[in-house]
Structure 1
Amino acid sequence: MNLFRKKDIAHLAQDAEKSGFVRNLTAFDLVFLGIGSVIGTGIFVLTGVGAALYAGPGIAISFILASVACAFAGLAYAEYSSMVPVSGSAYAYTYASLGEFMAFLVGWNLILEYTVTCSTVAAGWSGYVVGLLTSGGLNLSIDFLKVPAEGGIINLPAVFITMFLCILLVRGTKESIFINRILVFVKIAVIFIFLCLAIPNIDVRNWDPFLPFGYQGIASGAAIVFFAYIGFDAVATSAEEAKNPSRDVPIGILGSLAVCTLLYFIVAMVLTGIVPYTQLNNAEPVAYALRVIGYPFGSAIVAVGAICGITTVLLVLLYGQARVFFALSRDGMIPKGICRVHKKYHTPYLVTIGGCILVSLIAGFVPINVIAEMANIGTLSAFFIAGFGVLYLRITRPEIKRGFKCPAIYIVGPMAMLSCGYLMYNLPALTWIRFIVWCIVGIIIYFVYSYKHSLLNK
């Protein structure tokens, strides 16, 4: 069996031209797409929880450590995207470099990443909205706000927001990007309001000790807060809709990653500077901190920013999920009939609707707090392989035209693998067990269905 058959890069380019997508996204759109996918739950929740449980004030360093792993992977993605400007992100890149079997596993893990993360974010959106409505005096029935395991019937707000964004994504990419841009402006404005209120109240004594859990705490914190960054690869899935993908996609990936890392670091330092880190283990640490320093209206401000932030994260992740499904379907890895593009809206409407229904079912009926960590390991494994694949192509196919060349590739490639591998090593054992089971299920599907139906097999 030829498990390592590869798609020629010229054929990938032809696939992109025949996809039916409209190239209407600029580099500016892609930077905002990246910010929309990264700034959300991480900055409003993980900064506090990570500080309280894992790293103390050193959580700011944890964010930098996680971003370094993303930066190495992002540089690899940027070179890949300038060579292989197609939907599918790391899946398409691996298909062109390491062959079909490895590509399927990467795609399978990207499905895990996007589906689990979308479900987690939808549930988080529901929590913030319900909290805001309850604080406003509304008496809401728990039956339609909680999953069955938590005493309810269905988490209806999570289902609602997922299917509402589904309609928006089906109607058009440009329209979705416009809504994303507005919401990104709102949540960045809220972050700046928080900083303006909080910075004058910093007490440097709250930073002592800076590393209460030691250096291991920084590493453990980085492995957990990596969840905050996992959406940035959604930028790479937009390559077939970018006006100039070889230039715009690298700008979108690296530009959004730089902006988000800076914001995470500043917010983490300020948050742990105004309140002792031991008090931040709650669902709304930023709002809590503002109340502590005498700004009770901060809760409402942060809630609005969090809702906008989480909405953009969910929007971009659902967008990315549909493009990964589309790429797998187009290649025959999953039923080919579902990769149709709408004649009027020029969007992959069937995979978008199917993916959103899957996410809404998980968010509506399943308690997902435990499996959320699986999103981290699925993404890290894809980044690990991307670091190896771009190095492999540089050695074996140096003649390929590259719109962007990763600097110091013989350092960046291995560092992407080492940093992502190190973060995977620091994840809990139970996460590894579930990940291995997920991969085994994927391998079975590949040999039972995908290998036989692959376009390269025909």
Structure 2
Amino acid sequence: MKGIFRTKSIDALMDETKRDGGLEKVLGTFGLTMLGIGAIIGTGIFVLTGVAAANYSGPALVISFIIAGIACGCAALCYSEFAAMVPAAGSAYTYGYIALGEFWAWIIGWDLILEYAFAIGTVSIGWSGYIVNIINDFGINLPKAITSAPLAGGIINLPAVLIIAFITYINVIGVKQSTTVNNIIVAIKLIVIFLFIALGVGHVNPTNWHPFMPYGFGGVISGASVIFFAYIGFDAVSTAAEEVKNPQKSLPRGIIISLIVCTLLYIVVSAILTGMVPYLKFKTTAAPVAFALQQVGYHWGAALISVGAICGLTSVILVMMFGQTRVLFAMSRDGLLPKVFGHVHSKYKTPARSAVLIGIVTAVVAGFIPINIVAELTNIGTLCAFIIVSIAVIVLRKKEPNRKRVFKCPWVPVVPILAIIFCGGLIAKLPHVTQIRFLIWLVFGLIIYFGYGYKHSIVTSQSNNDQEKTS
């Protein structure tokens, strides 16, 4: 069993990406930055701001966003070092493989499968809710049977299934088409967010910020663990590494710029939001940004915000599904998952079969499981992946100190340790039932690894062949 900690050579990995059947290189810094913004700005700003303000942070939601942003910022610097050094598909999974070994790579990959699959389901259900509300505003009342999961009183959440089917098609036909659609959607939602800022800033009442920290500092930390969902997805930028024209420069820029832009927008929007409306009023709404504009009389603005929310959620689904397929592609190429996940379409140069399979699985999740169950497991998988990548940066600096690093994470090991501490603290604040379900997920993953992945691993097979030749 000692073979489970065998690492993968960076040089061998880069040779694999140059073989026939690889992914097409079409992305630059702008496309990557828009991918990051597309993944980050969505559910967090349009839905979770109200939940966190009303139940955890109060007006100190600004502090919660700063704490979550620092945790992600430290992790982003670690990701950037790896992304520039190892521009291959797979993100944290690939980084774990080369630094910590196959076993830890599997753990990260399994975490990312959890993160992306449940995030896609969660956001699709939220998208369905916004669409149904807009249709209702036009006087068309869709029956609950086709807009809710069975456990929520319906039969199937059909709008959620349909948006996943559409996004699956976009991901199949090509990364260039995917990023074009994403760029358009991101532009729309940024315009809508700036509209909210322009309309709302004049209606801020400082008395609404008192008490600033009604649930104490513990509530602020809990709020940070909840709205951390707002940040998941910046790592999806690194999953596109193999499709970037100049990865050494573009990847670090795309990761860091998208995170900075989104963090600043989150801070400004949350400050205006809690200044416009007393934080307790957000207990009654799942659309806090539109709700705040309605409260001050901008009903037309609230309608536009709803359109922006739909665009925001659409781009999140698009980038999450993009990231999910690339992680599966990398794990399949390494032999840890069946080859079907690693097949590249001859015409579109995308992992089309993987995209279709992910579309089917996430459509089932979104169509038949209530949002509260789907959403619970997303954050913890991401936080664990961030921790392992941060550890991997420290380990690889020790193992290969002379390897060329185009981008270096500053102040190693301080920054990676801060990422570990912040992410570990946020995990501790998540509900115990979420932690237990996560452990069950990991056990299930280990069964698959030892039952299939370990036996079919290309690294293990090559090592065994080398031993046979020398014996």
TM over 0.5: yes
The 3-state SS of whatever aligns with 1:401 is: coil
Unaligned runs of 5+ in 2: 462-471
Residue 67 of structure 1: aligned partner: 69
Mapped to 2, the partners of 1:139 and 1:280 lie a distance apart of 25
Contact (CA 8 Å) 2:189, 2:309: kept in 1 or not? yes
1:158 and 2:160 matched? yes
1:28-427 matches, within 5 Å, as 28-281=30-283, 282-427=285-430
Shift of 1:147: 0.8
Residue 447 of structure 1: aligned partner: 450
The 3-state SS of whatever aligns with 1:409 is: coil
The 3-state SS of whatever aligns with 2:233 is: helix
Mapped to 1, the partners of 2:139 and 2:176 lie a distance apart of 37
Shift of 1:112: 0.2
Q: TM-score, normalised by structure 2?
A: 0.96
- Aligned partner of 1:333: which letter? L
Mapped to 2, the partners of 1:393 and 1:414 lie a distance apart of 14
RMSD: 0.9
Question: For the structure 1 residues 45 and 337, does the alpha-carbon distance in structure 2 shift closer, same or farther, using more than 3 Å as the test?
Answer: closer
Mapped to 1, the partners of 2:343 and 2:287 lie a distance apart of 41
- Aligned partner of 1:165: which letter? I
Shift of 1:21: 1.1
- Aligned partner of 2:306: which letter? A
- Aligned partner of 1:9: which letter? I
1:21 aligned to which of 20, 23, 41 = 23
Shift of 1:280: 1.0
The 3-state SS of whatever aligns with 2:377 is: helix
Task: Deviation per CA, 1:295-326: give whole Å up to 9, x if none.
Answer: 11122111100000000000000000000111
Mapped to 2, the partners of 1:338 and 1:434 lie a distance apart of 26
The 3-state SS of whatever aligns with 2:236 is: helix
Task: Deviation per CA, 1:24-65: give whole Å up to 9, x if none.
Answer: 100111000000000011101111111000000001110110
- Aligned partner of 2:235: which letter? D
- Aligned partner of 1:312: which letter? S
Question: For the structure 1 residues 231 and 430, does the alpha-carbon distance in structure 2 shift closer, same or farther, using more than 3 Å as the test?
Answer: same
The 3-state SS of whatever aligns with 1:230 is: coil
Shift of 1:128: 0.4
The 3-state SS of whatever aligns with 1:232 is: coil
Shift of 1:373: 2.3
- Aligned partner of 2:129: which letter? G
- Aligned partner of 1:136: which letter? F
Deviation larger for 63-72 or 12-21: 12-21
Contact (CA 8 Å) 2:6, 2:460: kept in 1 or not? no
Task: Deviation per CA, 1:162-204: give whole Å up to 9, x if none.
Answer: 0111111110101110110011010010011111111011100
Contact (CA 8 Å) 2:365, 2:374: kept in 1 or not? no
Task: Deviation per CA, 1:46-94: give whole Å up to 9, x if none.
Answer: 1111100000000111011001110111000000111111010100000
Shift of 1:135: 1.2
Mapped to 2, the partners of 1:154 and 1:370 lie a distance apart of 15
Q: TM-score, normalised by structure 1?
A: 0.99
Superposition misfits of 4+ residues, deviation over 6 angstroms: none
Unaligned runs of 5+ in 1: none
Mapped to 2, the partners of 1:130 and 1:58 lie a distance apart of 32
Mapped to 1, the partners of 2:133 and 2:57 lie a distance apart of 27
Task: Deviation per CA, 1:317-368: give whole Å up to 9, x if none.
Answer: 0000000111111111111233111111110001011011100011001113
Mapped to 2, the partners of 1:277 and 1:256 lie a distance apart of 28
Shift of 1:153: 1.2
Identity %: 50
Deviation larger for 14-23 or 56-65: 14-23
Shift of 1:284: 1.0
Shift of 1:161: 0.4
Mapped to 1, the partners of 2:98 and 2:134 lie a distance apart of 47
Mapped to 2, the partners of 1:245 and 1:441 lie a distance apart of 35
Mapped to 2, the partners of 1:17 and 1:386 lie a distance apart of 25
Mapped to 2, the partners of 1:128 and 1:338 lie a distance apart of 32
Shift of 1:371: 3.8
The 3-state SS of whatever aligns with 2:235 is: helix
Mapped to 2, the partners of 1:124 and 1:140 lie a distance apart of 16
- Aligned partner of 1:346: which letter? K
Mapped to 2, the partners of 1:189 and 1:337 lie a distance apart of 40
Residue 457 of structure 1: aligned partner: 460
Mapped to 1, the partners of 2:228 and 2:191 lie a distance apart of 24
Residue 468 of structure 2: aligned partner: none
Shift of 1:247: 1.1
Shift of 1:290: 0.6
The 3-state SS of whatever aligns with 2:260 is: helix
Mapped to 2, the partners of 1:371 and 1:294 lie a distance apart of 34
Task: Deviation per CA, 1:73-127: give whole Å up to 9, x if none.
Answer: 1000000111111010100000000000010011001000000000001111100
Question: For the structure 1 residues 361 and 371, does the alpha-carbon distance in structure 2 shift closer, same or farther, using more than 3 Å as the test?
Answer: closer
